[in-house]
């Protein structure tokens, strides 16, 4: 009995000492934080944002806003780290600089730092186009630009029937809905190679035009079958131009109303795209065929959908793109929301935003791929007498 009593006293004493140490540590950290609260918060936010972008396991809409703010988090974190270094807060400042270094791989999502072309001699590449054509202005039905956009496989979003395009391809599938009375709009996938299987879906947007969905096609490519997904994720219709115009005119109330509307649209967009991407992933996760996913993601490279796909797929721009590669031909302009992802079965040899084609509110994205298995040399046959 005495030994048990002594053990209880010993555990109680250890617990009291531990609580005392933790309390002193908490008070000490709080006092340090109180001296530079903004800088410490900026460093902490940088870490949280970076962690979400590397591994987006938290699928709440808040995660979308956090990930989207990474560029701002990097800038504020850098300023905070420099300030703390000047203030002799060397440990936290060093941690801030280390975390900034860890964001360098993520910067590739913004800036293509490749030489633009990876050469494979005597190997044919698969040329894939992705383009949100914004229904194609009638003035460009037979535009000379179609020659620039000729590809082996072409994926169109906001597609309306166009004979000039369809005549260039041997095979194709479309999924269209009625838009603005008699006008048809939707998704299209065209191929120079036979289409073996297909599945498509247009998502219901309630009282809004049903323009979002995906096409999934298995295509016979040489001796192989490849799975291509053309996707148009939830559109938000954020009106940044109206907010800017209101600000220029000094209409403060209108400006804040537009900001509030944009926030709501972003929030709903994050939620819907998460649901839609889960459905798309069900067709490509664990696919026995090489996969290509392309389309209008309506999300920046620091979005949740992009981050989820990056866990399993390569992004063509990151692998072989150059410069900034912005794909939006309207305000806010500085955004790359049109993407191409591929499975590890492919080498990405080039990826380019064709900014000379300006008749849509998006620029086309063209990429070339080579199957890795086609690069494996066949052992020479040895003749025996």
**For 114-374, which CATH class?**
alpha beta
d(CA 118, CA 364): 21
Q: Are 130 and 295 in contact (CB under 8 A)?
A: yes
First to last CA, the chain: 92
Q: Are 372 and 345 in contact (CB under 8 A)?
A: yes
Average pLDDT over residues 176-199: 86
Q: Who's near 333: CB < 8 A, 6+ residues apart? A: 326
Query: Is 60 exceeded by the pLDDT of residue 384?
Result: no
Element (H, E) at 369: strand 365-371
Q: Are 73 and 106 in contact (CB under 8 A)?
A: no
| Residue pLDDT, tens place only, 213-252 | 999 999 999 889 999 999 999 887 666 667 777 777 777 7
With the C-alpha atoms ordered 266, 104, 364, 161, is the resulting torsion angle positive or negative? negative
Query: Is 80 exceeded by the pLDDT of residue 134?
Result: no
Q: What DSSP string runs through 6-53?
A: HHHHHHHHHHHHHHHHHHHHHHHHHHHHHHSHHHHHHHHHHHHHHHHH
| Residue pLDDT, tens place only, 350-370 | 999 988 888 888 899 999 999
| Residue pLDDT, tens place only, 369-380 | 999 987 765 444
Which residue from 274, 259, 254, 330 is spatially nearest to 58, judged by alpha carbons? 274
Domain residue limits, the chain: 2-107, 114-374
- Of 305 and 367, which is predicted with more confidence? 367
């Amino acid at each position: 009995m005495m030994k048990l009593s002594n053990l209880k006293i010993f555990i109680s004493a250890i617990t009291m000492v531990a609580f005392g140490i933790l309390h002193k540590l908490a008070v000490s950290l709080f006092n340090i934080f109180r001296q530079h609260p903004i800088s410490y918060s900026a460093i902490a936010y940088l870490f949280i944002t970076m962690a979400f972008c590397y591994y987006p396991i938290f699928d709440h809409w808040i995660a979308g806003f956090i990930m989207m703010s990474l560029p701002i988090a990097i800038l504020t974190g850098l300023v905070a780290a420099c300030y703390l270094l000047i203030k002799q807060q060397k440990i936290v400042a060093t941690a801030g600089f280390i975390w900034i270094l860890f964001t360098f791989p993520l910067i590739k999502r913004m800036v293509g730092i490749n030489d633009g072309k990876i050469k494979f001699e005597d190997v044919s590449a698969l040329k894939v186009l992705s383009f949100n054509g914004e229904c194609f202005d009638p003035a460009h039905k037979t535009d000379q630009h179609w020659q620039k956009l000729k590809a082996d496989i072409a994926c169109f979003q906001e597609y309306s029937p166009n004979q000039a395009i369809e005549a260039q391809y041997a095979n194709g599938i479309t999924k269209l809905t009625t838009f603005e009375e008699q006008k048809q709009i939707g998704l299209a996938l065209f191929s120079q190679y036979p289409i073996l299987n297909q599945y498509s879906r247009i998502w219901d947007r309630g009282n809004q035009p049903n323009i979002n969905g995906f096409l999934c096609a298995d295509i016979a490519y040489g001796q192989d079958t490849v799975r291509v997904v053309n996707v148009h994720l939830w559109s938000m219709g954020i009106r940044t131009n109206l907010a800017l115009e209101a600000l220029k005119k000094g209409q403060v109330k209108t400006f804040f109303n537009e900001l509030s509307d944009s926030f709501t649209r972003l929030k709903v967009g994050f939620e819907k795209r998460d649901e839609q991407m889960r459905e798309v992933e069900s067709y490509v996760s664990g696919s026995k065929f090489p996969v290509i996913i392309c389309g209008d993601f309506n999300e920046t490279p620091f979005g949740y959908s992009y981050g989820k796909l990056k866990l399993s797929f390569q992004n063509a721009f990151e692998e072989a793109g150059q410069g900034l590669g912005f794909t939006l031909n309207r305000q806010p302009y500085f955004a790359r929301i049109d993407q191409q992802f591929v499975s590890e079965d492919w080498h990405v040899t080039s990826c380019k935003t064709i900014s000379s084609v300006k008749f849509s509110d998006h620029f086309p994205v063209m990429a070339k791929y080579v199957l890795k298995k086609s690069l494996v040399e066949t052992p020479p046959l040895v003749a025996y007498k």
